[in-house]
Amino acid sequence: MLVLGVSATLIGAAARNIGLSPYEISLMIMIQNLGFMVSVMISGAFADTYSKPRILMIGSLVLSGALATFYAIDWFNLNLAIMFMIGAGIGTYEGVTDAMLVEIHPKKENLHININHFFVTFGSILITVYLIFLQMNWRNAVVQSGIVVLGLALVFALTKLPIRNITADPYLERMKILTRDRLVIVFFIATALVVGIEGGTIGILTTYLMDLRGFDQVTSKIGLLIFLTGMAIGRILIGIFAPQEKLNQVLLTMFGMAVILYSALFFLDLDVLNYALVFLAGLSISALLPLMLAKAGVIYQEMAGTVMGSIKVAIPIGGILLPLILSQLVQYTSFAASLIIFPLALLIAFLLIFSTTRNNLRTASSEDISEEID
């Protein structure tokens, strides 16, 4: 997951050094998200019936080759295909690792999934600091990343993990059950909203701080690092201290805090305390995605890979959809007014999860799911 965070951020940073236009960069990001979407769903489903280390090995080999060959030849269409493979490689990590942690760390799913996603944020922080202070040669860095991932493939090749074979039901049969389950649908929508908010905040935070709060180039970037640090710390703290049996309450509390703090961040000017608001906003949103994944993994242990993979399809959708809505709001209103989309999206996700929990729309245990499939 550290490699996932570094790879996703590294390619985005390198694109401007290559000299690509905003249109070409947007197209590459879209193609990467498409590769991610296809990979996370397929690898998640395979994780229920095939060796997880072998799936991760294949994903690492794909990612290593893609990183090593990215812009070795200056041909845009070829590099679009390579970008698809980069998305597919990191999608394998996203699709398999959480399901594997649910299997090998029973009763501690929340802790390990939160720590797992902490390393995504940590990878983004590492490469951001690297870019700011070391002025890297992007081409060498991409090749070096490919070599590191090749080493990771070797680790997975030597790793043994028994295949549980909890469910032998066909993939389409599993998906048929899931599409009738309201909790899965709600988590899918909430995941798209949360990921869109995370990506949108990272994308516009420096601009917001400079245009509306009087920060300069350096202090606004420090603000972004503070936000990412808040996310990283939040994932560790929630993973350690959130009781496994109270994931619903913790999830709803975090959503409620995020609504309040995002409203304060974007609509209150607290001068020197703006840094504190940025940190707390990152803290509040940090564990929302890991908590939903942990909850889904606990409920659907027999097909955790399929369920998590299906929910994670919402990750690239949210990463595209919410920024697109934000851009339209900016065009037809103003930058300041458009920021209402962040607390509003969080409120919608909160209400969806709250109504689902309150009405007991999903209380069946793992055994109930097995009986329904039978």
Helices (H), 179-273: 182-213, 217-241, 247-267
pLDDT digits (tens, 9 = 90+) for 311-359: 877 888 887 788 778 878 888 888 889 889 999 999 999 999 998 866 5
Q: Is the pLDDT of residue 176 over 80?
A: no
Q: Kindly list the domain boundaries of the chain, sorted by start residue.
A: 1-165, 166-374
Alpha-carbon gap, residue 316 to 356, rounded angstroms: 24
Mean pLDDT rounded to a whole number for the chain? 80
Q: Is the pLDDT of residue 54 over 70?
A: yes
Q: What is the pLDDT of residue 371?
A: 45
Name the residue with higher pLDDT: 219 or 92.
92
Q: What is the mean pLDDT of residues 286-303?
A: 81
Give the pLDDT band (50/70/90) at residue 178: low
The pair of structure tokens assigned to 20 is 């690509």
The percentage of residues in the chain with a pLDDT greater than 70, rounded to a whole number, is: 81
Q: How many residues does the structure list for the chain?
A: 374
Same topology, domains 1-165 and 166-374? Answer is yes
The pair of structure tokens assigned to 87 is 């998305």
On whether the 166-374 domain is CATH 1.20.1250.20, my answer is yes
Alpha-carbon gap, residue 150 to 160, rounded angstroms: 18
Give the pLDDT band (50/70/90) at residue 360: very low
Fold of 1-165: Growth Hormone; Chain: A; (1.20.1250)
